[in-house]
Amino acid sequence: MSLNYSELLTSVERIALQAGDAIMAIYSREFSVEEKEDKSPLTEADQAAHDIIMGGLTALPEAIPVLSEEDIEGFAGTDATGRYWLVDPLDGTKEFIKRNGEFTVNIALIVNGRPVLGVVVAPALEVSYLAAEGVGAFKVKDGKKEPIRVAGKPNQGIAWRVVGSRSHPSPDLAEWLEKLGAHDMMPMGSSLKLCLVAEGAADVYPRLGPTCLWDTGAAQAVVEQAGGRVETTDGEPLCYATPHNKLNPYFVVWGCLSNPQIQ
């Protein structure tokens, strides 16, 4: 059965917004913080969003397996056609705990290793990013849905606008930036970093540190449908074909089709 990506994008946006509402209900009051086995933080908002997303995705007309950060063991693998949902119910839990608003709900549809549909909702900032193959990439703010496009390569003599992580500074980043050349840094949390490149507010996002599949899948769909690229440091597209391997390699998000030779 062929999926209608336009209709599916609307359905997934609704699910992500519902999860965002649940997160904000907890964000507005006191909440407890636990520690997972990998020492990363976990709040009741992570679980509340997970439950809503799982309920929403499993209620869709076509059954597709779901890999969520909050239920890794429950994922049995892709379906027969190589499809699965990739979910981070609350990306940027550290930002949530800091109450700086830079956290997101991430939902992506992966088909044969590629993110073909993605929804990123930042509930505290009241902004959403949506994308799907054959549909395009969009930003929704103040009730207005506008198409977005990457900025392209900066003109000669113009500094690169580089977006980077608030919570995960990388020791390899300084060397990479020196090779890039003149640049201005823009700190940001969660998958919003990729979305800033997608909408043309930043030019490049180098991630020379650990991330998981669910951190990037939804926003990668937005970047690619907005005309950008998400590549490993070897120049290969960031791939999701082996979901049993949860960690991404180092990667760079480019808002242009050509880039300097960064080794």
Res. 190 pLDDT band, cuts 50 70 90 = very high
8 CB burial (10 A radius; 0-12, 13-18, 19+): buried
pLDDT of residue 251 exceeding 90, the answer is yes
Least confident of 71-75, 245-249, 257-261: 257-261
Vertex 20, ends 30 and 71: CA angle to 5°? 90
What token pair was written down for 239? 């791939």
pLDDT tens per residue, range 26-71: 999 988 888 787 767 788 999 999 999 999 999 999 999 999 999 9
Half-sphere exposure of 12 (CA within 13 A, CB side): 31
Place of tokens 């390699």: 249
- pTM greater than 0.75 (yes/no): yes
